Structure 1
């Protein structure tokens, strides 16, 4: 027991103050340790709450549009501040992707909540103007068929179709409808020429380079344009486009990945024959467009995708980049792989789950993505501190997917594969408990030397004042 100069026991508070005066560094360490424990507890608690975030299928249209609005405000401000150019410096289609996804997400939001329609339409038109600008077309070959290559043509035409659709149809947007008809015809002519020549259904995005996902997006743009234009289009032209899409579909089905039966990731630009296996990043993306071409085919391929690319880790219901039993390294398409899982494929697959009415997968992917993305902000909200706006654009597009496809694609006759385990969160919760307990144990170890000794405990008087 410590004592004062008079020989009487010192009050515990006095002993503590004396200890702090003699060892101020120990007090600072204790304060930091406690603050760190509080921060860890807050982060773990926030993560647990976000892991239960309702999926877009649970929220419904109006609530989904409201929840995505802060992300769209962030994207709009970032794009006007040069985010497209920054994303272009990271990968070849960064500018086009970010603007196209922003425009489509805005159009989807306006469809989900009619009260947002006017702003959504204005922003989608602004995004299309950026795609048409010199910065939007610069990376692509102007002399290609269609002009600027299939990537630019497919995404810009699909966005234009959504704009005309959101505006109320060709009668409400006659000038844009005329351009849509012309752009759709250019895509159809390019497909017809390729099918009649080499027989390949895949058009080049760059000279000598073709990725099937780009042609799937262009085929979807053609199909969507014909539906949006409806009676405003020449019946003979609409019939010709339907024949083009039938021939295109048949040629694609003849050139699938032999290992999975799915559309391959990359092909020979001349023949359209697979130059590699199907991959999760491109499958997740093209499955978003395939329902516009053929819903039954899309449902079959979605089932195969879920079977071949589902996570092999019970604690992480993400999407593999390579089929089960195979492996490979990440690249610019997949992003870094963590235990074989692709963050980009997982983000896009959330939109697929919404389009195909796959409620368990949508819930699991939402529950995994929200805590890992750690979105922050109120008026302007961003994932990962806004470090990668194109990632926010993909997530916004996925979360608003029901705007493009209000009616979920019916599942195939044999249904969908087994859903992710509903218990996947338990492993994360157990890890959170362990980390929180370790943080508080460390805080206790730092604080304990500053506390008054326990009365009656031999050797417990760790803090003594001068006698």
Structure 2
């Protein structure tokens, strides 16, 4: 009985190792098909209240789940024009939810721009995505114009390049998203905000974190040095604002935050606790920052994105059916939303970023050894158990 059990376990371990090897080694097809399945899962989850549940987990849970759902559809539609009509419909649905009372509930309407730069920036960027899909009507273009003017006015009249997301609280990443939406307006509608965005870039270069040379994590109520949860998103959007500056910033980020198993929350040599943004840290690695960095690496044309995607397929327990796909057994829809957004990442407007080189495939070797070790041990146990059992039987 023991030998039969060992054989069964060895067969299972071999199958698991074989699947893992395929995910690590075989060529990856365009991920859009899998992302569409993830979006089908997310739509059902949102309709079932997953966005309200996410709101209980962190302050922008409702907003992020809907915003990422809409933006991922935009990316799918841009990658495959045949799906652009469906993408427009779904992105409009997400935008309506962002502008609903539930979408604005946690933000302050007295701020300028209204509801603060976090809400205004992400919402305007999604509006830009609708325009990029080329199915927007005149009213949507007018609203994109109105909101962009409001944002630009707020930046021009502010004493700092980093506008508040909440009263007395400001994070540079939020202003980065907002400025990216203004660059998108200039490319998609008409040149209008170039001087505003250029002044923003010039001002940001004087406000960099002296310890890393990157944008700070937070500037109000106090300045906090660069952290990966915000840097991964900054790198995702900065490429659409100033490609040359973005490349320089991305290379610093890669050098100071990317570690062997993922992305550190704090720069190398610095330790710190996890929080609601980073999630629990494992040997200093932030899972959320690692997932978002996958998208940043894609828009930077960094092969590191492929490595992160393969490791996600290996460790994320993906379950794919005829119409839906989910990771982590579907238990964390907000995680699926960030992952789908990162897997399909692409700028709204063109980027001239050259491809980064210098990444080898040797990172696969430790993973292959790890996934095949249990199968090897079990088959050795079967091999040595068999003869001893036979001798005792005789």
Deviation at 1:167, TM superposition (A): 2.5
* Structure 1 partner of 2:371: 432
The counterpart of 2:77, out of the listed 103, 110, 117, is: 110
Question: Equivalent residue of 1:39, what SS?
Answer: helix
CA distance in 1, matches of 2:57, 2:4: 42
Q: Return the offset for 1:301.
A: 0.5
Write out per-residue CA displacement over residues 369-402 of structure 1, whole angstroms, 9 at most, x where no aligned residue: 2111121122110011111111111111112113
What is the aligned length? 393
Alignment check: 8 A CA contact 2:132 2:348 kept? no
Residues 226-375 of structure 1 aligned to structure 2 (within 5 Å) = 226-230=186-190, 238=192, 241-269=193-221, 275-311=223-259, 313=260, 316=261, 318-359=262-303, 361-375=304-318
**RMSD of Structure 2 on Structure 1 (CA):** 2.3
For residue 292 of structure 1, report the CA deviation from its aligned partner.
2.1
| Deviations 1:1-26 (CA, angstroms, capped at 9, x unpaired) | xxxxxxxxxxxxxxxxxxxxxxxxxx
Alignment match, 1:70:
37
User: Which aligned pairs between 1:213-224 and structure 2 lie closer than 5 A?
Assistant: 213-224=173-184
Return the offset for 1:267: 0.9
Larger Rg: 1
Deviations 1:149-196 (A, max 9, x none): 11111101000111012035xxx52100000001001111111221xx
1:6 aligned partner: none
Secondary structure of 1:437 counterpart? helix
TM-score, with length taken from structure 2: 0.93
Output aligned runs, 1:49-68, within 5 Å.
49-52=22-25, 54=27, 59=29, 63-68=30-35
Q: What secondary structure does 2:346 align onto?
A: helix
Alignment of 1:70-149 (within 5 A): 70-149=37-116
Determine the structure 1 residue equivalent to 2:319. Answer: 376
Q: In 2 relative to 1, CA 220–433 (structure 1 residues): closer, same or farther, beyond 3 Å?
A: same
CA distance in 2, matches of 1:442, 1:335: 39
Q: Give, in whole Å, the separation in 1 of the partners of 2:138 and 2:106.
A: 30
2:393 matches 1:461: yes
Equivalence for 1:162: 129
Larger deviation: 392-401 or 175-184? Answer: 392-401
* TM-score, with structure 1 as normaliser: 0.79
Tell me the residue number matched to 1:9.
none
